[in-house]
Amino acid sequence: MLQPKIISASPLDRYKLYLVYENGENRIFDVSPYISGDWFGQLADRQYFKTVHLSGATVEWADGQDIAPHELYELSEPVEVEGVY
């Protein structure tokens, strides 16, 4: 099965990302396990964490930190959405 493409990524509280996929799936990805060391440790700054944006098939932050698209999909939790997000 092909992995669907991310069409939207929004930062949430507690270092989570709200991801919307082209197939209509909405998922929550917990970034907190990745926040350590010099490179990914920058994500601990809440203002910096909010710089997340789409980049190609994945998400990326201002200085180039990214997470593999398959990890975002496979390790995220699906959420049911009623109405408009």
pTM (predicted TM-score): 0.91
Provide the CATH number for the domain formed by 12-79 in this structure: 3.30.2020
Q: For residue 83, report the phi and psi dihedrals to the nearest 5 degrees.
A: 75, -145
Return the pLDDT at 2.
80
b/e for 23-43, b at 16 or more Cβ within 10 A? eeebbebebeebeeeeeeebb
Domain edges within the chain: 12-79
Q: What is the pLDDT of residues 31-63, one digit of tens each?
A: 999 999 999 999 999 999 999 999 999 999 999
Mean pLDDT of the chain: 94
